[in-house]
Amino acid sequence: MSSFPKKKRPGFAKRVWRSIVRHGAPNTNRNRSLAVFTNLFLHIHPVKVRRRAMRFRATYYLGGLTAATFFLLVVSGAFLMIYYRPDPLRAYGDMKDLQYVVWMGRFLRNLHRWAAHTMVLLAFLHLCRVFFAAAYKPPREFNWVIGVVLMGLTLLLSYTGYLLPWDQLAFWGVSVGTNIISAMPAGGDMVKLLLLGGTGVGGNALIRFYVLHCFILPAVLTVGIALHIWRFRKDGGVCLPPYEGPDQQATTASKGGSP
Amino acid sequence: MKRFEPVIGQDVGEVPVRLLFTQDEAGVLVDQAQEPMVMTVPHLILRELIAFLVLTWILVMVSLLWDAPLEAIANPSQTPNPSKAPWYFLGLQELLHYYPPLIAGIVLPGLAVLALVIIPYFEINIRRPPLFDEKRGKRLAALWVTIIGACVAMSLPAEVMPWVLVIPTLLGGLVITGSALGLGVLARLQDRSLAFWLMSWFILELTVLTIVGTFFRGPFWMLTLPWIEGIY
């Protein structure tokens, strides 16, 4: 009846592939849009971005790199969890095993430790840059507050991880820290007791720090980062001064946004 | 009751241009010129991927070259001298050297966090008028009254004279004064606002405290020189 030629049904492999990835190769702008639209992980981005917002000098990529270090920390931390037991009798021995027995154990631990320091540093630099660019101006006020909370969570994560090796550095570093908490006028000792599960740093403290470090804080931080990035996108992405034409491009990004 | 009829059309003569009423300073951005846009895939994604790979490469190289420290097993009966917190808390620990724990451990960090949280709600650093665009003499006098006042306020509750806080504050005052007078390279900072200077001061103090606590403190929290006695 119909004069149109019948469309050939795609082959099995192609149908399976299309069930997973719903768009063709990103060689047309339509497919490039679909690559963002139909992908959960890319969906934190808009389909198109301003060329100025993408420049390295606009943000130094500090927020993204902070998130990237967190990702590296989760991966290397998961491997470390396989070999580490949070028990004062075993923890230090497991650290020695990681250093001398486990294949690539030393590298894993090094990576985790240096990435942790890097994350604290990058998060702080990110905070400074956002301040100097006044990128918290309306409607981004609350995202700044979320950012300050994330900074605190990052410090807490690093601090709880500091105890886990159970060496002298860890034990006394954490002791110094928790003594500061007990100076709090109201309930400081309560918080210290809750955190340490006793009056001093011992087995109870180790398991508490372990659970905080490996589950509670990373979970909260993951949700917080998701919220932070989602709001960042909803508020219009990178905060830039109004665009005033191509000749202005060279100077605006580094000076930040002022109306 | 239907009050508006949405009309969609191509003919500009027939379908009116959208109108937007905004209050003064409502901060609505209206596109005046067409901003150049690029597709996220591949432009942004590629950049993100490269940034991630560079970061990973650097961290991998650092991890291959330098080992994370691991000291002797924890021993509650053997207190190392000095006992140091992790480096990002050494600024705090350095503060504890000068002030009673209530001030150094709770009040000052609490104020710092509070100040950070409320920044966006008080229009801080948003309008950014230059600090010295007018009344330069009066402003400079006020600046130095504030700086001397701050140094006195920092010294009064201290148990040990907090030179580590006072000296950078005074140096900061000199830099601000230099910028106001347009001296040399400092002239470039002439248009900076009060908020810029306050935040820079905060970052400077935090950095100096952390560096002193990390590199210049030894047994009994005495001053040491890292290039002579090493880092404790």
HEC string of A212-228 equals: HHHHHHHHHHHHHHHHH
Which amino acid, A14? K
Mean pLDDT of A160-188: 88
Give CA–CA dist A135/A11, Å, rounded. 51
Owning domain of residue A159: 61-233
Q: Which of A155-169, B56-70, B120-134 has the lowest mean pLDDT?
A: B120-134
Strongest mean pLDDT among A26-30, A43-47, A73-77, B111-115: A73-77
> Which pLDDT score, from 0 to 100, does residue B146 have?
94
B191 contacts in chain A (CB < 8 Å): none
> Which pLDDT score, from 0 to 100, does residue B191 have?
86
Q: Is the peptide bond before B42 cis (omega within 30 degrees of 0)?
A: yes
Which amino acid, A54? M
Q: Is the ipTM of this complex over 0.85?
A: yes
Task: Indicate whether A128 pLDDT > 50.
Answer: yes
| Structure confidence by residue, pLDDT tens digits, B178-199 | 998 888 899 888 888 888 899 9
Question: What string of DSSP letters covers B145-175?
Answer: HHHHHHHHHHHTT-SS--HHHHHHHHHHHHH
A7 located within any domain: no
Domain ranges of chain B: 87-229
Q: In Å, how far from its chain's centre is CA A156?
A: 14
| Structure confidence by residue, pLDDT tens digits, A85-106 | 999 999 999 999 999 999 999 9
> Which pLDDT score, from 0 to 100, does residue A251 have?
47
Give CA–CA dist A100/A103, Å, rounded. 8
Compute the nearest-CA separation of A196 from chain B (Å).
14
A97 located within any domain: yes
Q: Which of A74-78, A188-192, B201-205 has the lowest mean pLDDT?
A: A188-192
For residue B113, give both structure tokens: 């966090």
Give CA–CA dist A38/A22, Å, rounded. 7
Mean pLDDT of A205-232: 97
A192 located within any domain: yes
Asked whether the beta carbons of A241 and A256 are under 8 A apart, the reply is yes
Nearest neighbour of B55 by CB, restricted to A69, A148, A201: A69
Nearest neighbour of A32 by CB, restricted to B39, B47, B73: B39
DSSP B24: T
Asked whether the beta carbons of A84 and A98 are under 8 A apart, the reply is yes
Asked whether the beta carbons of A51 and B38 are under 8 A apart, the reply is yes
Q: Which of A26-30, A108-112, B54-58, B200-204 has the lowest mean pLDDT?
A: A26-30
> Which pLDDT score, from 0 to 100, does residue A252 have?
44
| Structure confidence by residue, pLDDT tens digits, B34-72 | 788 999 989 999 999 999 999 999 999 999 999 999 999
- Give the contacts of A223 (CB within 8 A, at least 6 positions apart): none
Q: For the CA atoms of B137, B139, B142, B146, what is the dihedral angle to 10 degrees?
A: -130
Task: Indicate whether B7 pLDDT > 90.
Answer: no
Location of structure tokens 């946004």: A257
Name the domain count of chain A: 1
Mean pLDDT of B15-26: 62
A92 contacts in chain B (CB < 8 Å): 73-74
Mean pLDDT of B209-226: 93
Handedness of CA A106, A108, A109, A111 (dihedral sign): positive
List, in sequence order, every residue forming a beta bridge with B223; answer none if it has no partner. B217
A165 located within any domain: yes
Q: Any idea what the CATH number is for the domain that residue A138 is in?
A: 1.20.810.10
Question: What string of DSSP letters covers A91-144?
Answer: HHHHHHHHHHTSTTHHHHHHHHHHHHHHHHHHHHHHHHHHHHTTTT-TT-HHHH
pLDDT averaged over every residue in chain A: 89
Single pTM value for the model: 0.87
Taking CB atoms and an 8 Å limit, are B76 and A244 in contact across chains? Answer: no
A51 located within any domain: no
A89 located within any domain: yes
